[in-house]
């Protein structure tokens, strides 16, 4: 108990800062986050989506990791042997881009540094970033097993990557070939199809005339990219297009370069678009590439990897794409060949990391054959071995796998896993300076280190493939590489496959699908049986957060200002399945207030504490109505929280707990318990405190996955009263539901009491009766059950409404003749005879309004009950419920009318 704060020193308002710092340290020291294959428990594992080492964590990471921590702590407290593996991702292009920006501020560059120096600079940066990120995760309270920290490019993961690469190679699933790839001229690398984003941009459709070689008018093509015309090798029309029948097979003269190109017929062409004639540039357009294959056309490269026009382009050589477009249009115009320019907005591909326009370029790249891999992933999905929550993501996932294309895995950057392929200079007849990406059919050897001699020719000089692997290649192996794969480790046997993966929908294809494919291929098992897909955090206006927009939120700043538990509460309570989160600072206020409410509830309990030595267990005490009622509400709360968490509706779970603690426990039970806690009857005090502290401890346990810090702080003191105290909350179990029988009388009595109190309070407030004034209350009631309850628990009514003596009117001796204020509830009428203090005109108006409301209810109800269709077709329970409501409303109406009669 030495580390706990005593109640006397507790602040009136919860101050998170010191408390959080202390528990971060205590948890780390204790090692409770670490998993040790506890064979008495069922294993449950998950791996963190490793954040890129590009800087600090943003609010989206906070959401992702809070969800995981919620689940991790919950599973532990449900008795699982939990393993949550932390780590970071080297992040390929993204990280290299960040470093290039840093270098620019230092007036140097990647090229100037050279590959070796650059890579070593990246390694230093990585060390620094990892420290930041892991520190932030600790501050967030994440119960990760930090002893297992992994990095996608550390030595162990290098081994995993090499083995994966080699196996794919050996199995014929990996090949190098010339394809038209998505090329980012800024990053200087190829990208996979899903790394290209499509943006709607303004553009034009230019109509250009291509004359016939033999002097005819030729035809007009429409294009959005006139600069690629230099690489045209044909013009295609639809075979059935009447307009162009005569031209098929004829030669056209390509303007500006005067090359002769044929008119070909291809079913791909849409006659209704543009002019119905398409210029064909196989080296720079994916469709044209395909057409080129079909018609055996040459591929003429006119744009270089740097985005400049090539030597092929004559006077245009060396110009940028934009400059070339401008000049070509000018030249066409002056030759009278530009027939039309019409605005044509269209989607262009841009780099997902730097937003530069993607250039389709021909080059030699490495590809993974994905069709068979995807088929296995689909099989697992169909067999129910893998499930996605919410299910609405299942269809997009399935569709993507069905329509999958080969995965380009080579990147022409320096930061990443080097491709473990070596080329013998002699066999391949190349030199060290050969422009690598232009050379087809290289014979390579897969090896983790440079081979000594070539097995074919005995040569000893090799160069390694200069490319690195797509960063997602190593990420795809993450769920098993973190456990030591390809070694057959104990960890792998114990914790793989994992149970769940928590991630955002933006990387379902980039990551989730690839993990499924690779996991199934390399281990024969789905890497995780469930994926929990959450939304992304947006700003107030619903915009995606990005550094360039300047609308990013720093989670640390929010934690500093409102507390980590408040941030976690705010994020989780907005994380509805399938929904994005609109983040605004206002939402943290509710979290902070709730944290404070819990804190003060605990403070209240401790101020009224009975020492544990004097206190027995719950069943040793004679419980009264309020106790039974709150215990039954507590039961309901526990059950529904379980249900919500089971359905991964964490927001729903948070809502249930919030409502129970604040609206039920604090607003009603604590107020009623004060009667005994602050009274003189020791046994009564003990009873009330036992119930209070039992439920509070239970609530603190239930809330721990959501708000670990404040709950741990409170529990560190409250555990003296816990029947099964644990060193830390996470090592305790969720409360079992206590056995309590609540009678119908108590149930109905409490409901009637709550309604009655509300109507009396409303009366007081609306008539402006001073809050301090104790009022005499005369009660009249008909329902014997509720009346009996009220009489037995009169102190409840008095305490909650600021009443003094309560008297009862017999229902037979009629109403009152004197003027009174009245509170009419379903079961009771209360009269407050405060002549002189009450404005009876106002009271008459007030009752009149209530009467109006009752009358409108009544007419709806009677309409329903006079409908024979309703009576015959609706469920009998529903009809009897309606009858009950009708009777109640009628009784209220009659009583209100009588009262108003006396007043006016």
List the interface residues with RNA, window 632-671 (CB under 7 A): 652, 655, 662, 666-667, 670-671
Binding RNA by CB under 7 A: which of 110, 176, 279, 719? 279
Give me the phi and psi of 2, to 5 degrees please: -65, -25
> Could you say whether residue 870 binds RNA (CB under 7 A)?
yes
Q: Which residues contact 459 (CB under 8 A, 6 or more apart)?
A: 424, 425, 426, 427, 453
Cis omega (within 30 of 0) for bond into 486: yes
State the residue for tokens 């890129």.
52
Q: Which residues contact 218 (CB under 8 A, 6 or more apart)?
A: 209, 210, 211, 212, 247, 252, 253
> Could you say whether residue 88 binds RNA (CB under 7 A)?
no
Of 366 and 511, nearer to RNA (C-beta) is 511
d(CA 531, CA 576): 15
> Could you say whether residue 764 binds RNA (CB under 7 A)?
yes
State the residue for tokens 């909350």.
729
Stretch that binds RNA, among 441-449, 469-477, 494-502, 576-584 (CB under 7 A): 576-584
Rg of the chain (C-alpha set):
37
Of 285 and 465, nearer to RNA (C-beta) is 285
**Minimum distance between the CB of residue 104 and RNA, rounded to whole angstroms?**
28
**Minimum distance between the CB of residue 293 and RNA, rounded to whole angstroms?**
12
> Could you say whether residue 202 binds RNA (CB under 7 A)?
no
**Minimum distance between the CB of residue 620 and RNA, rounded to whole angstroms?**
26
d(CA 151, CA 147): 12
Site for RNA in 317-346 (CB under 7 A): 346
> Could you say whether residue 545 binds RNA (CB under 7 A)?
no
Binding RNA by CB under 7 A: which of 147, 335, 341, 762? 762
What count of residues does the chain have? 904
Site for RNA in 138-177 (CB under 7 A): none
Of 99 and 512, nearer to RNA (C-beta) is 512
> Could you say whether residue 878 binds RNA (CB under 7 A)?
yes
d(CA 769, CA 820): 13
Contact letters for RNA, residues 281-320 (x by CB under 7 A): ----xxx--x------------------------------
C-alpha neighbours within 13 Å on the C-beta side of residue 144: 27
Beta bridge partners of 207: 222, 340
> Could you say whether residue 182 binds RNA (CB under 7 A)?
no
Residue 727 in contact with residue 715, Cβ under 8 Å? no
> Could you say whether residue 595 binds RNA (CB under 7 A)?
yes
Binding RNA by CB under 7 A: which of 25, 347, 647, 894? 347
d(CA 505, CA 578): 9
Give me the phi and psi of 273, to 5 degrees please: -95, 140
Site for RNA in 108-127 (CB under 7 A): none
Site for RNA in 426-455 (CB under 7 A): none
> Could you say whether residue 222 binds RNA (CB under 7 A)?
yes
d(CA 483, CA 150): 9
What are the angstrom distances between the C-alpha of 796 and each of 752, 766, 789, 811?
12, 22, 11, 22
Q: Binding residues for RNA, how many (CB under 7 A)?
A: 92
Of 405 and 733, nearer to RNA (C-beta) is 405
> Could you say whether residue 265 binds RNA (CB under 7 A)?
no
Neighbours of 661 (CB within 10 A): 22
Stretch that binds RNA, among 156-164, 583-591, 621-629, 816-824 (CB under 7 A): 583-591
> Could you say whether residue 733 binds RNA (CB under 7 A)?
no
Binding RNA by CB under 7 A: which of 149, 154, 178, 197? 197
Give me the phi and psi of 695, to 5 degrees please: -70, -40
Residue 578 in contact with residue 535, Cβ under 8 Å? yes
Crossing angle of helices 650-659 and 564-574, in 10° steps, is: 120
Of 530 and 857, nearer to RNA (C-beta) is 857
Of 70 and 562, nearer to RNA (C-beta) is 562
> Could you say whether residue 212 binds RNA (CB under 7 A)?
no
Of 134 and 775, nearer to RNA (C-beta) is 775
CA 406 to chain centre: 28
> Could you say whether residue 771 binds RNA (CB under 7 A)?
yes
Stretch that binds RNA, among 13-21, 78-86, 171-179, 376-384 (CB under 7 A): 13-21
d(CA 665, CA 700): 13
d(CA 383, CA 505): 22
**Minimum distance between the CB of residue 31 and RNA, rounded to whole angstroms?**
32
Site for RNA in 375-414 (CB under 7 A): 392, 395-396, 399-400, 403
Site for RNA in 825-864 (CB under 7 A): 857, 860-861, 864
d(CA 499, CA 484): 18
**Minimum distance between the CB of residue 238 and RNA, rounded to whole angstroms?**
8
Beta bridge partners of 343: 204
d(CA 649, CA 653): 7
Neighbours of 152 (CB within 10 A): 28
Binding RNA by CB under 7 A: which of 327, 398, 603, 890? 603
> Could you say whether residue 765 binds RNA (CB under 7 A)?
yes
> Could you say whether residue 867 binds RNA (CB under 7 A)?
yes
Site for RNA in 693-732 (CB under 7 A): none
Contact letters for RNA, residues 503-542 (x by CB under 7 A): --xx--x--------------------------------x
**Minimum distance between the CB of residue 372 and RNA, rounded to whole angstroms?**
19
Residue 66 in contact with residue 56, Cβ under 8 Å? no
């Amino acid at each position: 108990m030495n580390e706990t704060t005593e109640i006397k020193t507790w602040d009136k308002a919860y101050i998170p800062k010191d408390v959080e710092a202390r528990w971060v340290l205590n948890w780390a020291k204790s090692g409770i986050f670490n998993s040790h294959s506890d064979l008495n428990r069922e294993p449950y594992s998950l791996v963190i989506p490793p954040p890129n080492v590009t800087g600090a964590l943003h609010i989206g990471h906070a959401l992702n990791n809070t969800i995981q921590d919620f689940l991790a702590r919950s599973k532990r407290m449900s008795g699982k042997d939990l393993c949550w593996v932390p780590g970071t991702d080297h992040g390929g292009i993204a990280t290299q881009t960040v470093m290039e920006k840093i270098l620019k501020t230092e007036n140097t560059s990647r090229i100037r540094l050279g590959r070796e120096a650059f890579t070593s600079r990246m390694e230093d940066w990585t060390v620094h970033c990892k420290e930041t990120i892991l520190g932030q995760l600790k501050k967030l309270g994440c119960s990760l097993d930090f002893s297992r920290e992994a990095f996608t490019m550390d030595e162990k993961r290098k081994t995993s990557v090499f083995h994966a690469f080699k196996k794919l190679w050996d199995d014929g699933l990996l090949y190098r070939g010339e394809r038209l790839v998505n090329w980012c001229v800024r990053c200087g690398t190829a990208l996979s199809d899903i790394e290209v984003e499509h943006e709607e941009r303004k553009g034009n459709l230019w109509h250009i005339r291509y004359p016939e070689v033999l002097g005819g008018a030729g035809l007009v093509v429409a294009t959005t990219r006139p600069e690629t015309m230099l690489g045209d090798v044909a013009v295609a029309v639809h075979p059935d297009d009447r307009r162009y029948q005569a031209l098929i097979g004829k030669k056209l003269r390509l303007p500006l370069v005067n090359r002769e190109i044929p008119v070909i017929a291809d079913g791909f062409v849409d006659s209704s678009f543009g002019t119905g004639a398409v210029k064909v540039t196989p080296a720079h357009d994916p469709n044209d590439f395909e057409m080129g294959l079909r018609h055996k056309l040459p591929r003429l490269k006119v744009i270089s990897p740097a985005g400049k026009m090539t030597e092929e382009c004559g006077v245009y050589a060396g110009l940028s794409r934009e400059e070339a477009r401008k000049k070509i249009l000018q030249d066409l115009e002056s030759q009278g060949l530009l027939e039309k320019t019409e605005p044509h907005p269209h989607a262009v591909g841009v780099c997902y990391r730097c937003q530069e326009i993607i250039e389709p370029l021909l080059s030699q790249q490495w590809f993974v054959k994905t069709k068979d891999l995807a088929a296995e992933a689909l099989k697992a999905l169909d067999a129910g071995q893998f499930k996605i929550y919410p299910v609405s993501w299942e269809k997009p996932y399935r569709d993507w796998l069905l329509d999958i294309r080969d995965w380009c895995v080579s990147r022409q950057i320096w930061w990443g896993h080097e491709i473990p392929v070596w080329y013998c200079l002699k066999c391949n007849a190349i030199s060290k300076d050969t422009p690598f990406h232009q050379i087809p059919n290289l014979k390579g050897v897969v090896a983790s280190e440079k081979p000594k001699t070539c097995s074919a020719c005995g040569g000893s000089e090799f160069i390694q493939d200069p490319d690195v692997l797509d960063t997602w290649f190593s990420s795809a192996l993450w769920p098993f590489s973190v456990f030591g794969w390809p070694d057959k480790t104990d960890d792998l046997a114990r914790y793989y496959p994992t149970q769940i993966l928590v991630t955002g929908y933006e990387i379902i294809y980039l990551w989730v699908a690839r993990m499924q494919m690779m996991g199934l291929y390399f281990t024969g098992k789905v890497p995780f049986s469930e994926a929990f897909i959450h939304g992304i955090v947006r700003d107030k206006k619903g915009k995606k957060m990005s550094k360039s927009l300047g609308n990013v939120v720093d989670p640390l700043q929010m934690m500093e200002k409102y507390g980590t538990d408040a941030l976690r509460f705010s994020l989780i309570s907005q994380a509805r399945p399938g929904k994005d989160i609109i983040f605004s600072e206002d939402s943290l206020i509710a979290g902070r207030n709730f944290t404070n409410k819990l804190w003060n509830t605990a403070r209240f309990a401790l101020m009224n504490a009975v020492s544990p030595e004097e206190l027995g267990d719950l069943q040793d005490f004679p419980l009264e109505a309020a106790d039974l009622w709150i215990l039954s509400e507590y039961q309901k709360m526990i059950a529904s929280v379980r249900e919500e968490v089971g359905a991964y509706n964490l927001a729903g779970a948070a809502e249930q707990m919030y409502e129970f603690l604040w609206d039920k426990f604090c607003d009603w039970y604590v107020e009623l318990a004060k009667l005994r806690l602050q009274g003189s009857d020791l046994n009564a005090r003990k009873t009330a405190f036992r119930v209070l502290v039992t439920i509070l401890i239970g609530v603190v346990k239930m809330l721990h996955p959501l708000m670990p810090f404040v709950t741990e702080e409170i529990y560190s003191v409250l555990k003296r009263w816990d029947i099964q105290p644990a060193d830390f909350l996470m090592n305790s179990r969720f409360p079992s539901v206590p056995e309590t029988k609540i009678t119908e009388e108590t149930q109905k009595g409490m409901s009637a009491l709550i309604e009655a109190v509300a109507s009396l309070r409303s009366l007081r407030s609306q008539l402006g009766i001073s809050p301090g004034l104790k009022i005499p209350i005369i009660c009249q009631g008909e329902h014997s059950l509720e009346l009996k309850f009220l009489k037995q628990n009169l102190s409840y009514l008095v305490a909650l409404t600021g009443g003094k003596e309560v008297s009862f009117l017999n229902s037979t001796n009629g109403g009152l003749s004197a003027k009174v204020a009245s509170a009419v509830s379903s079961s009771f009428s209360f009269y407050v005879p405060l002549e002189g203090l009450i404005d009876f005109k106002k009271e008459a108006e007030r009752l009149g309004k209530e009467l109006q409301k009752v009358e409108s209810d009544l007419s709806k109800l009677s309409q329903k009950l006079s409908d024979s269709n309703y009576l015959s077709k609706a469920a009998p329970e529903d009809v009897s419920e309606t009858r009950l409501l009708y009777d109640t409303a009628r009784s209220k109406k009659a009583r209100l009318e009588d009262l108003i009669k006396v007043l006016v």
